[in-house]
Amino acid sequence: PTTPRPDNNRPDNSLPGNPRPDNGRPDSGRPDNSRPTTSSSALYRGVVTANELFLRAAPNRGGQVIRVAHRGQHVSIFCRTQGENIQGNRIWYLLTDGTWAWGSARYIETIGATPRWC
The CA-CA-CA angle for residues 30, 53, 75, to 5°, reads 75
Mean pLDDT within 89-110: 96
pLDDT attached to residue 37: 44
The answer to whether the beta carbons of residues 66 and 75 sit under 8 Å apart is no
Tens-place pLDDT, residues 38-63: 444 458 999 999 999 999 999 999 99
Residue length, the chain? Answer: 118
pLDDT attached to residue 42: 59
The answer to whether the beta carbons of residues 100 and 57 sit under 8 Å apart is no
- Please report which confidence band the pLDDT of residue 33 belongs to, taking 50, 70 and 90 as the band edges: very low
Query: Residue 52 in 3-state DSSP?
Result: strand
